[in-house]
């Protein structure tokens, strides 16, 4: 065995040791690493015995605690840091009384685990990944059986799945695999990593038959990963399906459990597999030289552990991949790093004779890609389950790591000592300032400067010589004042005055203050308490002292605040000198988790280094983003979303993000040109299949159109009455419910205008009367269009022309609409109107095609029909909401909002108040969410299923509608409220079947994708006449005005 192989073998065994530590942590819930290591050492690697030590009733921390804490850093104990494994959620309850049964159960579990490892060489960590992958595939297959597949399946229209220009390609969530998408997209957008994967060729010796199980697992996965990366480069699809790569991962291990995968654990294992795959290739290609593994060179670095153990110094070099950082108790990334780089008593590191122990970590070699794992989960021993830490943690877009480098350790130690001294001084100053700002000895404290000011105001008040209760003349109230009187209950209006009534009367009328009807305090009384006995000399001395003391306190407070600010600034700039900003790392990707420890959703923010902007990769949705949005979702503290993994890249290593260039022409290679020939052919074949989908869709649509035309040509047309021909393109809504029934509202308007024209026009010829009637009707409608009525009087519903006028429709459209109104055959009820109707019809026939664009005319009337339809959706939805029929109301309000939004996109007066519809849509969802949560809390199987049906079929499909516009803060807050309500159940005890249903449901609720995937068909609307529509709309709007909506 070569030296290199021996080193690799040692590193693998150390990884397995880390896995055993993870098992102990999972079983016992103990996170203290030195306790776990000591127990493992004392048991000689026997996990059963180690668990017995840790769970014994009188178990104590091993006595050699400090020694074992640092044993991994002693010389000769090189270790390969393996981080990222989180405690499994299936925690054994160690609080039971029957310890014998507990020990037997643990022993059996460990025996099974050890036997599986001996037989297969597969660790429990790897089996955990297998379990979640199998759950992902099962979830993907189960999604085909859902009641409403349009919510979760692909759109049947392939154009909805077509990639737009060079927009990045998304990854389909094939069932709880958002973690896979977040990690893969982050790595894919590292151009150097992408090149390594795309140009990977399996070793020739392993092409025919893999030599061992690792090759059997890794090589097929590398093949599928290459295919997946190639599709992300050149696919014409908006998103691609990673199921084949996930299937390879699933088939590598066999298990039955299911849980959502952890990002850092998957990243660690993925890089481990890639490292193995590239190691096989590197060993084959080496020519007597030490093989170089590009995965190790890209993602792994080294640090030097410098420490003191019981007065003896030691140094040891260690290797690391993902670097773990604790979040709890720190405000920013530098504080986390400082805490991670120093362990134990720092003073002991610089003392020759100290008996204490401590160690520092110094980076000696940083990887080009530096990944920090933020430990946002901790095990709650009382509840027996992990919990998520939602604390806020800030991190910068550029991270300077000079202060952690071994070459700078002397200057860093000096600066750390200086910062420590400044912080101690800062603590003293803050304590002194607090005494000024919170002065007093009682439970309530006030700023001292305010106390002195109040004393000064009291001393300066006008002195009074009487008691505050003796100077009130109750018998002579000021004018207009109703005073409190004490009168017997038997006194009538002519009774004695209050001054004659003894104050000891048993019956009294209490004082009631009536604002605006009762006068204020009499002007001759002081507004504040004042001293009664003070001389001018005393007052002068006291005022002088108080003025002087207040000034002194103000100066002291200001000096303290300025000193504190100056020290804060000094600490912030401590590492800003030129020598400490030579190792810049730029933030490349942020992997975000939203939810709780047991369930949630992952997505990634990835920096586009060439476009210099942030992109949000959320499964199939890839959108432009901003640093402000990243801060809101990643820092934590704002909601249940926070960064879980940070990926920084060396800002000076441009090869990481540099595009490829043609060696002959010097031109940059983009898209398909960057792919090797085999992958280029693979992508072309997939694109051909997708183009065939598009062609088949187009052919299907063309066939439908042809069939509709053929059907229309074969349908016999009913001849129109000779006296009243129906005009082509006449608006459908003018006759409701049928073409032969003119609404009473419009008919009366027309007759009224004709009557007025006959009364005022001497020339009674039909043409003259018609022109005058149209003029009167136009003037009436123009006045309505120019009015500003209350919401319940929407004149646009009264007539299409009002809508056209308010939205500046062409004059020809308005003129033709009015002609059709007066040319309707239903005006033939008497001779007078019939003659005018005929003139109007003749005018319509004389209009030439080039005078009025009939396509434009029909578009305007179609838009008005859409407006009336939107009004009916809104009206019916509000009526149902008031009846508390929230399920029925929701769909009406959803379509009202969507249709209204489309109308408003064309003009301000083309739709209704968007905030009004948004409010009731939001309220409806919140009411349904509360109803569904109450059903779930009942615990009854039928009720629980009904509640989840409400969530899956009504609420979850609507959430993207509320999230698509990120300026709507109330909508986003409502979504957070609904999610938090369900996430709160994670910390509660419940039946296993409820826990299973909740775990299955939460990823759907927490999916932050704004991809709108489909709805039920729009609800059917009843037929309303114009009069009925206006009346019902006015009634519902009036009822809303009488009952103000919360939050509006």
Q: Tell me the range of 133-147, 369-383, 613-627, 720-734 where mean pLDDT is highest.
A: 613-627
Average pLDDT over residues 454-469: 74
DSSP designation for 951:
I
Helix (H) or strand (E) segment spanning residue 317: strand 312-320
Pair 971, 918: CB distance under 8 Å: yes
CA distance 734 to 744: 10
Pair 358, 348: CB distance under 8 Å: yes
User: Is residue 955 predicted with pLDDT exceeding 60?
Assistant: yes
Pair 529, 468: CB distance under 8 Å: yes
* Helix, strand, or coil (residue 361): strand
- 480 pLDDT band (50/70/90 cuts)? very low
The pLDDT score that the predictor gives to residue 567 is 94
Question: How far is C-alpha 101 from the geometric centre of its chain's CA atoms?
Answer: 45
Pair 252, 270: CB distance under 8 Å: no
The pLDDT score that the predictor gives to residue 457 is 86
Cβ contacts of 872 within 8 Å, gap of 6 or more: 1021, 1022, 1024, 1029
Average pLDDT over residues 711-738: 45
User: Is residue 900 predicted with pLDDT exceeding 60?
Assistant: yes
At 48-89, the pLDDT tens digits run: 667 666 655 333 443 343 333 333 333 333 333 333 333 333
- 701 pLDDT band (50/70/90 cuts)? confident
The catalytic residue among 178, 336, 645, 958 is 178
Pair 221, 129: CB distance under 8 Å: no
Q: Nearest Cα to 298, choosing from 204, 195, 221? A: 195
DSSP designation for 952:
I
User: Is residue 625 predicted with pLDDT exceeding 80?
Assistant: yes
- The token pair at 1003 is 């990823």
Average pLDDT over residues 1017-1021: 80
Q: How many CB atoms lie within 10 A of CB 150?
A: 14
Pair 373, 324: CB distance under 8 Å: yes
The pLDDT score that the predictor gives to residue 12 is 47
Q: Where are the alpha helices (DSSP H) in 472-584?
A: 536-572
The pLDDT score that the predictor gives to residue 1043 is 59
* Long-range pairs for 251-256: beta carbons < 8 A, 24 or more residues apart: 252/126, 252/130, 252/217, 252/221, 253/122, 253/126, 253/127, 253/129, 253/130, 254/130, 255/127, 255/128, 255/130, 255/131, 255/134, 256/131, 256/134
- Pick the residue with more confidence: 74 or 955? 955
User: Is residue 24 predicted with pLDDT exceeding 90?
Assistant: no
Helix (H) or strand (E) segment spanning residue 591: strand 584-595
- 1008 pLDDT band (50/70/90 cuts)? low
The pLDDT score that the predictor gives to residue 512 is 39
The pLDDT score that the predictor gives to residue 467 is 61
The pLDDT score that the predictor gives to residue 855 is 86
At 754-772, the pLDDT tens digits run: 888 888 766 678 888 888 8
CA distance 363 to 342: 12
| Whole-Å CA distances, 506 to 214, 487, 488 | 99, 9, 7
| Whole-Å CA distances, 193 to 197, 198, 296, 350, 924 | 6, 9, 12, 42, 48
- 447 pLDDT band (50/70/90 cuts)? very high
Is 547 part of the annotated catalytic residue set?
A: no
The pLDDT score that the predictor gives to residue 81 is 36
CA distance 457 to 529: 10
- The token pair at 697 is 């869709």
At 399-435, the pLDDT tens digits run: 999 999 999 989 999 999 999 999 999 999 999 999 9
790 φ/ψ angles, rounded to the nearest 5 degrees: -70, 165
The catalytic residue among 588, 601, 609, 798 is 601
User: Is residue 149 predicted with pLDDT exceeding 60?
Assistant: no
Is 1008 part of the annotated catalytic residue set?
A: no
363 φ/ψ angles, rounded to the nearest 5 degrees: -70, 125
Pair 105, 92: CB distance under 8 Å: yes
Q: What is the mean pLDDT of the chain?
A: 75
The pLDDT score that the predictor gives to residue 263 is 60
* Helix, strand, or coil (residue 908): coil
The catalytic residue among 588, 593, 609, 861 is 593
Asked which of 26-35, 155-164, 890-899, 967-976 is least confident by mean pLDDT, the reply is: 26-35
Q: Can you tell me which residue has the tokens 């036997």?
A: 115
- Pick the residue with more confidence: 441 or 366? 366
The full DSSP string for 91-122 is ------S-HHHHHHHHHHHHHHHHHHHHHH--
The full DSSP string for 640-705 is SEEEEEEEEEETT-GGGTPPPB-TTT-PBP-GGGGS-HHHHHHHHHHHHHHHHHHHHHHHHHHHHH
At 504-551, the pLDDT tens digits run: 344 443 443 333 333 444 545 555 687 877 888 888 898 899 999 999
The pLDDT score that the predictor gives to residue 205 is 57
Question: How far is C-alpha 245 from the geometric centre of its chain's CA atoms?
Answer: 28
Cβ contacts of 2 within 8 Å, gap of 6 or more: none
Q: Tell me the range of 598-612, 711-725, 751-765, 858-872 where mean pLDDT is highest.
A: 858-872
- The token pair at 1038 is 């009036």
Q: Nearest Cα to 843, choosing from 768, 787, 901, 955? A: 768
Q: Can you tell me which residue has the tokens 């004659």?
A: 500
Buried b (16+ CB within 10 A) or exposed e, 859-890: ebbebbebbbbbbbbbbbbbbbbeeeebeebb
CA distance 349 to 852: 91
Q: Nearest Cα to 631, choosing from 643, 646, 619, 644? A: 643
The pLDDT score that the predictor gives to residue 98 is 47
Asked which of 232-246, 363-377, 653-667 is least confident by mean pLDDT, the reply is: 653-667
Is 178 part of the annotated catalytic residue set?
A: yes
The pLDDT score that the predictor gives to residue 5 is 47
User: Is residue 484 predicted with pLDDT exceeding 70?
Assistant: no
CA distance 508 to 983: 58
117 φ/ψ angles, rounded to the nearest 5 degrees: -70, -40
Average pLDDT over residues 369-378: 86
360 φ/ψ angles, rounded to the nearest 5 degrees: -120, 150
CA distance 602 to 592: 6
Indicate the burial class of 852 (C-beta count within 10 angstroms; 0-12, 13-18, 19 or more).
middle
At 927-936, the pLDDT tens digits run: 999 999 999 9
């Amino acid at each position: 065995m070569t030296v290199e192989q021996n080193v690799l073998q040692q590193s693998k065994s150390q990884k397995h040791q880390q896995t055993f530590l993870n098992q102990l942590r999972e079983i016992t819930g103990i996170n203290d690493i030195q306790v776990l290591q000591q127990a493992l050492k004392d048991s000689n690697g026997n996990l059963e015995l180690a668990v017995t030590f840790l769970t014994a009733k009188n178990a104590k921390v091993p006595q050699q605690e400090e020694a074992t804490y640092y044993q991994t850093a002693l010389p000769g104990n090189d270790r390969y840091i393996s981080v990222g494994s989180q405690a499994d959620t299936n925690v054994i309850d160690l609080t039971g009384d029957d310890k014998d049964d507990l020990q037997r159960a643990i022993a059996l579990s460990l025996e099974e685990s050890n036997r599986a490892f001996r037989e297969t060489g597969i660790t429990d960590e790897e089996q955990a990944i297998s379990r979640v992958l199998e759950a992902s595939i099962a979830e993907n297959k189960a999604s085909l059986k859902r009641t409403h597949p349009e919510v979760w399946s692909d759109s049947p229209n392939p154009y909805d799945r077509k990639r737009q220009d060079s927009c990045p390609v998304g990854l389909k969530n094939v069932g709880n695999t958002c973690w896979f998408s977040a990690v893969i997209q982050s790595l894919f957008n590292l151009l150097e990593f992408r090149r390594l994967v795309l140009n990977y060729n399996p070793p020739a010796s392993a092409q025919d038959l893999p030599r061992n199980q690792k090759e059997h697992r890794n090589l097929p996965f590398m093949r599928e990963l290459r295919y997946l990366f190639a599709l992300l480069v050149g696919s014409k699809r908006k998103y691609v399906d990673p199921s084949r790569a996930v299937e390879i991962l699933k088939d590598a291990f066999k298990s039955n459990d299911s849980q959502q995968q952890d990002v850092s654990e998957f990243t660690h294992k993925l890089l481990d597999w890639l490292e193995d795959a590239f190691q096989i290739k590197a060993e084959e290609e080496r020519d007597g030289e030490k093989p170089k593994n590009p995965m190790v060179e890209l993602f792994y670095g080294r640090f030097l552990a410098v420490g003191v153990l019981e007065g003896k110094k030691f140094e040891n070099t260690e290797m690391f991949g993902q670097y773990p950082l604790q979040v709890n108790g720190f405000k920013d990334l530098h504080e986390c790093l400082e805490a991670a780089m120093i362990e134990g008593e720092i003073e002991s590191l610089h003392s020759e004779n100290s008996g204490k122990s401590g160690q520092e970590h110094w980076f000696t070699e940083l990887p080009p890609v530096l990944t920090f794992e933020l430990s946002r989960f901790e095990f709650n021993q009382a509840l027996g389950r992990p919990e998520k830490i939602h604390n806020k943690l800030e991190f910068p877009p550029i991270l300077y790591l000079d202060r952690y480098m071994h070459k700078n350790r002397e200057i860093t130690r000096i600066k750390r000592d200086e910062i420590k001294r400044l912080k101690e001084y800062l603590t003293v100053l803050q304590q002194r300032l607090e005494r000024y700002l919170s002065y007093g000895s009682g439970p309530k404290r006030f700023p001292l400067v305010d106390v002195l000011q109040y004393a000064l105001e009291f001393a300066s008040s006008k002195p009074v010589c009487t008691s505050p209760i003796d100077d009130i003349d109750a018998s002579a109230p000021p004018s207009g004042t109703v005073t409190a009187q004490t009168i017997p209950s038997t006194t009538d209006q002519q009774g004695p005055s209050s001054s004659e009534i003894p104050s000891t009367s048993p019956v009294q009328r209490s004082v009631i203050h009536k604002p605006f009807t009762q006068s204020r305090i009499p002007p001759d009384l002081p507004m504040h308490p004042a001293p009664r006995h003070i001389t001018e000399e005393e007052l002068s001395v006291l005022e002088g002292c108080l003025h002087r003391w207040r000034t002194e306190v103000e100066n002291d407070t200001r000096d303290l605040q300025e000193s504190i600010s100056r020290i804060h600034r000094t600490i912030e700039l401590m590492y800003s000198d030129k020598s400490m900003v030579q190792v810049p790392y730029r933030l490349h990707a942020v992997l975000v988790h939203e939810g709780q420890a047991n369930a949630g959703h992952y997505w990634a923010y990835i920096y586009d280094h060439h476009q210099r902007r942030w992109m949000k990769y959320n499964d199939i949705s890839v959108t432009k983003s901003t640093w402000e949005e990243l801060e809101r979702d990643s820092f934590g503290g704002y909601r249940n979303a926070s960064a879980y993994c940070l990926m920084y890249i060396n800002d000076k290593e441009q090869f990481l993000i540099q595009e490829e260039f043609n060696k002959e022409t010097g031109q940059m290679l983009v898209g398909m040109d960057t792919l090797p020939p085999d992958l280029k052919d693979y992508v072309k074949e997939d694109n051909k299949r997708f183009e065939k989908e598009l062609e088949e869709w187009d052919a299907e649509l063309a066939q439908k159109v042809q069939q509709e035309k053929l059907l229309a040509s074969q349908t016999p047309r009913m001849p129109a009455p000779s006296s009243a021909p129906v005009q082509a393109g006449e608006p459908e809504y003018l006759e409701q419910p049928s073409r032969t029934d003119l609404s009473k509202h419009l008919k009366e308007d027309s007759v009224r205008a004709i009557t007025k024209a006959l009364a005022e026009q001497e020339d009674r010829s039909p043409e003259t009367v018609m022109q005058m009637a149209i003029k009167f009707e136009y003037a009436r409608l123009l006045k309505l269009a120019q009015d500003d009525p209350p919401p319940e009087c929407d004149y646009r519903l009264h007539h299409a022309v009002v809508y056209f006028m308010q939205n500046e429709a062409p004059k020809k459209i308005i003129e033709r609409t009015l002609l059709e109104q007066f040319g309707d055959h239903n005006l033939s009820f008497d001779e007078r109107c019939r003659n005018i109707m005929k003139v109007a019809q003749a005018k319509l026939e004389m209009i030439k095609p080039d005078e009025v664009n009939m396509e434009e005319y029909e578009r305007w009337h179609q838009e008005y029909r859409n407006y009336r339809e939107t009004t009916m959706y809104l009206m019916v939805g509000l009526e149902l909401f008031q009846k508390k029929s929230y399920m029925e109301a929701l769909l009406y309000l959803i379509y009202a909002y969507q249709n209204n939004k489309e109308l408003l996109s064309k003009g301000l007066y083309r739709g209704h108040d968007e905030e009004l519809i948004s409010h009731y849509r939001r309220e409806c969802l919140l009411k349904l969410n509360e109803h569904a949560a109450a059903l779930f809390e009942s615990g009854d199987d039928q009720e629980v299923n009904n509640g989840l049906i409400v969530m899956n079929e009504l609420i979850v499909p609507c959430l993207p509608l509320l999230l698509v516009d990120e300026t709507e803060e109330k909508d986003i807050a409502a979504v957070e409220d609904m999610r938090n309500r369900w996430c709160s159940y994670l910390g509660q005890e419940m039946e296993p079947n409820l826990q299973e249903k909740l775990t299955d449901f939460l990823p759907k609720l927490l999916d932050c994708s704004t991809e709108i995937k489909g709805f039920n068909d729009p609800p059917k609307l009843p037929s309303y006449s114009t009069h009925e529509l206006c009346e019902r709309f006015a009634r519902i709007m009036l009822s809303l005005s009488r009952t103000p909506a919360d939050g509006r």
